[in-house]
Amino acid sequence: MGPARVFPSLHRATPLVGAVALLGLLTACGGGGDSTGAVQTPAGTGGTATSPAATDTGGPPTGPASSEPGTTGPPSVDTTSPATQSGGPGTRCHTSQLRASIGRPSPGAGQRNFPIVLTNTGDHTCTVRGYPGAAFVDAAGKQLGPDPKRSPDTPTTVTLTPGSSAWAGLTYASPEISGARTALPKSLLVTPPDERDSLKVAWTAGEVPVAGNESSVFLTVVQPGTGG
């Protein structure tokens, strides 16, 4: 078994675990579903970690949500990805233009880290910026645990040509170490930045923390590539 893989940061080649360690894992504060059990999936947003979830200012959501099986196996690493970081304008990627998947996990010291990968499946170049939304759900579609928190960072615009990808890091403390109460999700709902419609990804990585000590889940901003 080779050395543990770590996520690069958006600005420096520091592990995602290091970013979360600076934050400190916070105690979860409440569930993410309403009294009927319906999931209140958080919208992705191009704002900073201190901003509230943004609404879709580019018009109504386009297209239905699609699904993509998740995997804990190694994804194909995009070594020549045309995805780039840019501050320039562009047409925002809508949910109907994207496919979501979960890349190969990268274990850390007491941490579990996963890249959430968004791939442009459309025929036109588009952009993503900021944080995706994410929610673990059970087989009935009920959300498990609170919405993830955002690791502080500065969002940049990522340009996706057809077939290229961007990724955001999802991380949490290993439940067997933290002692958090856990649940076994069926899927992870992923909402692209500034969108309302979600993409459902099968969750095959085991139990996740939903309450108790060090049960918070964290997300990073999107950046180019697959996180592999």
pLDDT of 117-146, one tens digit each? 999 999 999 999 999 999 999 999 999 999
Rounded CA gap, 159 and 77, in Å? 18
Q: What is the mean pLDDT of residues 83-100?
A: 76
- 169, with CB counted inside 10 A (0-12, 13-18, 19+), is buried
> Angle 115-116-118 (CA atoms, 0-180°, nearest 5)?
125
- 149, with CB counted inside 10 A (0-12, 13-18, 19+), is middle
User: Does residue 207 fall inside a structural domain?
Assistant: yes
User: Does residue 97 fall inside a structural domain?
Assistant: yes
**Tokens representing residue 36 in the block:** 């009927």
User: Does residue 164 fall inside a structural domain?
Assistant: yes
pLDDT band at residue 45, thresholds of 50, 70 and 90?
low
> Which residue do the tokens 């419609």 mark?
197
> Angle 71-73-76 (CA atoms, 0-180°, nearest 5)?
95
**What digits encode the pLDDT tens for the residues 56-78?**
333 333 333 333 433 333 333 33
User: Does residue 121 fall inside a structural domain?
Assistant: yes
3-class DSSP state of 119: strand
Q: How many domains does the chain have?
A: 1
Rounded CA gap, 140 and 125, in Å? 35
User: Does residue 58 fall inside a structural domain?
Assistant: no
What domain range is 132 assigned to? 16-29+64-71+83-224
Give the torsion sign (CA, 141, 147, 151, 157).
positive
User: Does residue 38 fall inside a structural domain?
Assistant: no
User: Does residue 55 fall inside a structural domain?
Assistant: no
Q: Which helix (H) or strand (E) holds 96?
A: none
Rounded CA gap, 135 and 9, in Å? 23
End-to-end CA distance of the chain: 16
User: Does residue 25 fall inside a structural domain?
Assistant: yes
